[in-house]
Amino acid sequence: MSNSKNGISFFENVNRNFDKAAQFTSHPKGLLEQIKGCNSVYSFQFPVRTSRGLEVLRGWRVEHSYHKLPVKGGIRYSENVDEDEVKALAALMTYKCAVVDVPFGGAKGAIKFNPKNYGANDVELITRRYTSELIRKNYIGPGVDVPAPDYGSGPREMAWIADTYATFNPGRIDALACVTGKPVAEGGVRGRTEATGRGIFYGLQEACDNSEDMKALGLTKGLAGKRIVVQGLGNVGYHAAKFCQEGGGVIVALAEYEGAIYNPKGLDLDAVVKHRKETGSILKFPGATDVPNSLEALELDCDILIPAALEEQITQSNAPRIKAKIIGEGANGPTTVDAEEILLKKRVMVIPDMYLNAGGVTVSYFEWLKNLSHVRFGRMDKRFEHSAFDKMLRAVEESTGRSFKEHERVAITKGPDEIDLVNSGLEETMTGAYNQIRDIKKSNPKIPDLRTAAFLNAIEKIATAYMELGIFP
């Protein structure tokens, strides 16, 4: 939110990080200003008749960078959202897409309302009305601007957006590609719902597998056995915790808006979720200690802290008390610039949001490609690969005399389903991007942290795109 805890707005925080990285480049000031600023800010209000009567709501769509088209970014539904926040999130989307080599510019949208205070019919009316405003100004389209879910919205809302766009554009065969994060039955892709959380897991796994970096932190190699605190049990936080737990991590604390729970021996994530559904709170979970103030959970003793809720959770005031050796930013902007300076002095590894939570936009890219091609991933090659692997296996059996058991045969010869290909592509993307960032940091001792390296990586790629367009010499 723009009402920052440290007097600096969210967008100013993003630009401070940009400037910190820009000093390591030789690009002219004009080019850097073009990359940093928002290309277009559409602020509007629209009337809608809900069950509560006629209301006028505020909406935004910010298109940050046109160096690649379409631009891409979610739509936030929140009564606390403002223009500064949308601009900051749009800028982060630009840099995020560049870091993971997804060919989109950055954008973001928002509607200022709390969907929990409205019935499903009202939310649908508001979503469709907002979409019609975007269509009116050409702020949505498969080759123009492709929204996605964000805080407060989800697959249901994306399906309404796609349907509204298709209604205004009859006969357009690529209409479904106007938005991503849709239900699978409505043109979505398998694996999109859990993509951001899974991407966080892949990023943390890659970081922890580097023995040199772990030794410098006083930790052993690998994610297994690492004590993890997760703030936020929404879609991102839940899936990040789930995959980290399955990967051998120990979830010692979970925090939500009502408070936090802690057990140094580990928490059963699904049991906690079940308890919350039954009681309305994660507090008073059997075997765990309650922490009434959820922010205090950030200061618990752990190896990895995953803030996966809202921005500006780690600030100048609580950073000195953070005990984690690694902070994996699941949310957008959870750490302020001043807080990060304190953490770096304590030799904490901060894995930045603009890289670590890029799993969502990566799999959204796969969905966009699927919608444009009208072919489900794996449909054309699954049976062919199964047949080819089966022939190879039989040749091995004939030449060696070894006979494979049925379950071994199935595991070896199985052709990839859509979810297999999506997860494989996501892992490759997150692994490759992390090593790009790490190599940039290692190549220049003056680069202080992974965030600066990530921004530098993004700036260079965006600058190259502008220069290749002939806009800057």
Percent of the chain with pLDDT over 70: 98
Mean pLDDT, to the nearest integer, of 15-36? 95
- If DSSP states are collapsed to H, E and C, what string results for the chain? CCCCCCCCCHHHHHHHHHHHHHCCCCCCHHHHHHHHCCCEEEEEEEEEEECCEEEEEEEEEEECCCCCCCEEEEEEECCCCCHHHHHHHHHHHHHHHHHCCCCCEEEEEEECCCHHHCCHHHHHHHHHHHHHHHHHCCCCECCCEEEEECCCCCHHHHHHHHHHHHHHCCCCCCHHHHCCCCCHHHCCCCCCCCHHHHHHHHHHHHHHCCHHHHHHHCCCCCCCCCEEEEECCCHHHHHHHHHHHHCCCEEEEEEECCEEEECCCCCCHHHHHHHHHHHCCCCCCCCCEEECCHHHHHHCCCCEEEECCCCCCECCCCHHHCCCCEEECCCCCCECHHHHHHHHHCCCEEECHHHHCCHHHHHHHHHHHHHHHCCCCCCCCHHHHHHHHHHHHHHHHHHHCCCCCHHHHHHHHCCCCHHHHHHHHHHHHHHHHHHHHHHHHHHCCCCCCHHHHHHHHHHHHHHHHHHHCCCCC
Enumerate domains of the chain plus CATH numbers.
39-186 (3.40.50.10860), 195-356 (3.40.50.720), 377-468 (no CATH)
The yes-or-no answer on residue 284 being catalytic is: no
Output the pTM of the full model: 0.90
Q: Write out pLDDT tens, residues 112-153.
A: 999 999 999 999 999 999 999 999 999 999 999 999 999 899
At 473, the pLDDT band (50, 70, 90 cuts) reads low
Q: Write out pLDDT tens, residues 58-98.
A: 999 999 999 999 999 999 999 999 999 999 999 999 999 99
**Annotated active-site residue in 108, 112, 226, 441:** 108
Q: In the predicted model, is pLDDT for residue 3 greater than 60?
A: no
Q: In the predicted model, is pLDDT for residue 1 greater than 50?
A: no
- Of 6-20, 355-369, 423-437, least confident by mean pLDDT is 6-20
Q: In the predicted model, is pLDDT for residue 42 greater than 80?
A: yes
Per-residue confidence (pLDDT) for residue 6, from 0 to 100: 56
Mean pLDDT, to the nearest integer, of 10-16? 92
